[in-house]
Amino acid sequence: MHPAVIKFNNLPAKVAAPTWQQASDKARSTAMARQTIVKHLLSAGTAIDAAFVRFKQNLESGLVTPALSQAIITVNKVPSRATLFNWVKAYKANGLEGLLPAHRGRGKDLPNWATRALQFYHAPTSPSFAMVADDLKAEGYKVEAHQVRRFIGSLPHELGPKSPYRMGAKLYKEAHKDFKLRSTAHIPAGFLYNGDGHTLDVYLAHHKSGNPFRYELTALQDVRSRKIVAWDLSEAENTLATLNALTTSIKKYDHLVSMFYVDNGSGYKANMMNEECIGVYAQLDIEPIFAIPGNARAKWIERFFLHMEDRVGKRFQTYCGRHEDESFKKLVLKEIKQGKRHLPTVEEWVAEFNKFLDHYHNSPHPEETGKTRQQVWDENFVQSKPPHIDFDFLPKTKVKVRRGQIQLHKRTYTADYLHQFNGQELIAGFSMTDDKTIKLHELTGELLLIAHLKTKVPAIPESRIEQRRDERTKFQLKRLDKKKHEILAQAAKTRVVDVDEVEELAADTGPLSIEHKEQTPFFEMDLNDFLVEPEQPEALELTDFAVTEDDE
């Protein structure tokens, strides 16, 4: 069953006699006006009939109090005798709540197409009332679009045109549902950092190729003061950018953060950062807090990125951020290629960003009035000095020793006596900038030795390698030249074959005449006539080998 139908079936029934808390302001005003009239009749000291007659006489002569006159205006007319008796009875039974106006008349019946209309209307494609009416008519229901519109309009907001089933649960939550107001006043400055990555909305010249490129900004923000404690600019969100920003903040302030609030991206949740035993968080004793996927509103740094692009990104001609469609981005790239727009360098953007950070840190804090972000940081910063950290070999991973060697990142490392640990698992600390050495530790963390990158002996002389490379280059150029001539020959118009001419030439050509020359005479012979039969040797007797007296 469609979830909208389930929610519709679970709607509470309309209360015929609402309580005072459930009643509207208009209903409460009507009940109090009725109470004024009932109390006037009960305070007359006579029967209700006699009090009602005198009440009507006083109304006709205008001898009623202003409060009673206002009550008559509120109830809209002078009540009849039967109505007054009902009011008095209800007042004596239930007090003021008994005088609340109740629903009168027959309850509204639901149309027989209500369930199907809910199923058609609450679809992700957001169909119109006319489309729903057409679908209902196709199933045999007699209904018009205005009837569907009135029916949907009578439902609660969650089943209306902006229901979560039409616009999506995430967008409905962000646009229409209640949210929590969070305060950071109880958090010391430097205790909790918020980190995230953001692709710049500005095309910059790539530092190597010079082509238009959008870099990735990784920033760390202190949650209490909103101060940007460190940032890194990279080609994409990765673990190295996060590591650089985190180590920069530690070195800059000689402070180790306690908690780190990040999302589930690869740059923050990779094994190098989040591994339970050897990850960077575990080594630095930092507790990571991973945000709920899709709940970007809970990260304070999202507002910083928005503010930064308005103050920094829009100062450049190559801005392509919010409110810019794909056609405008294509136009920007086209004009950059034509030289009509200046393509800023990374250094120009960094200079503008640093200028913005100085202004941002000295601007008013969003929560603590009368103070800037820098003042909140200075007044509430609680320093936690880190222990001795070898930042160069901070990344670590588990490796296994085989034949006195270690394979790490497609590199082979070896050391003296490393073969003594064959088959064992060790922890290797490596540098992201230098691959010449790695530090090997036991699983308990104790340093064992330093392994060096193993060099390979050339299998053949380098001169022959260079010779083979030159030959390969020549053969490649030769193949390209051959391919070029082939393409030109195929594209040449003079080589188009005329089929009619070919057929005409074929028709004029007769069968070839073969002149029979005088045959050379030949003789019949049999090769067996030339066989030579070998002579059979005479049989030898044993006496031929015997030695006689004459022979002696």
pLDDT in tens, 404-423: 898 888 889 998 888 888 98
Is 127 part of a structural domain of the chain? no
Is 492 part of a structural domain of the chain? no
Residues 227, 221: contact at Cβ < 8 Å?
A: yes
Same domain, yes or no: 366 and 429: no
Percentage of residues of the chain with pLDDT beyond 90: 22
Same domain, yes or no: 295 and 331: yes
**How many distinct structural domains can be found in the chain?**
3
Same domain, yes or no: 248 and 293: yes
| Predicted local confidence at residue 551, as pLDDT | 47
| Predicted local confidence at residue 158, as pLDDT | 87
| Predicted local confidence at residue 340, as pLDDT | 86
pLDDT in tens, 92-126: 887 877 777 775 545 567 889 999 999 999 999 99
Of 453, 479, 498, the position where a domain reaches its end is 453
Same domain, yes or no: 343 and 424: no
| Predicted local confidence at residue 552, as pLDDT | 45
Is 184 part of a structural domain of the chain? no
- The range of the structural domain enclosing residue 407 comes to 391-453
For residues 353 and 357, give the distance between their C-alpha atoms in angstroms, rounded to a whole number: 6
pLDDT in tens, 227-271: 999 999 988 888 888 888 888 898 899 899 999 988 887 777 777
The answer on pLDDT for 327 being more than 80 is yes
Same domain, yes or no: 414 and 365: no
Same domain, yes or no: 306 and 268: yes
One-character DSSP codes across 373-392: HHHHHHHHB---------GG
Band of residue 512 on the pLDDT scale cut at 50, 70, 90 = low
Is 412 part of a structural domain of the chain? yes
According to DSSP H, which parts of 122-160 are helical?
A: 129-138, 145-153
The answer on pLDDT for 165 being more than 50 is yes
Which residues is 412 bridged to in the sheet? 407
The mean per-residue pLDDT over the stretch 336-353 comes to 90
Same domain, yes or no: 370 and 221: yes
For residues 377 and 362, give the distance between their C-alpha atoms in angstroms, rounded to a whole number: 11
Same domain, yes or no: 409 and 328: no
| Predicted local confidence at residue 362, as pLDDT | 94
Please classify residue 163 by burial: count the beta carbons closer than 10 Å to its beta carbon, then call 0-12 exposed, 13-18 middle and 19+ buried. buried
Is 165 part of a structural domain of the chain? no
Band of residue 542 on the pLDDT scale cut at 50, 70, 90 = very low
Instruction: State how beta strands 396-400 and 287-290 pair.
Output: unpaired
CATH number for the domain that contains residue 305: 3.30.420.10
Same domain, yes or no: 230 and 293: yes
Is 509 part of a structural domain of the chain? no
Same domain, yes or no: 219 and 362: yes
Residues 111-125 as b or e (16 or more Cβ within 10 Å = b): bebbbbbbbbbbeee
Across 28-32, 171-175, 344-348, 499-503, the highest mean pLDDT is recorded for 344-348
Is 326 part of a structural domain of the chain? yes
| Predicted local confidence at residue 501, as pLDDT | 67
| Predicted local confidence at residue 145, as pLDDT | 94
Same domain, yes or no: 361 and 402: no
Name all contacts of 323-330 with Cβ < 8 Å and 24+ positions apart.
Answer: none
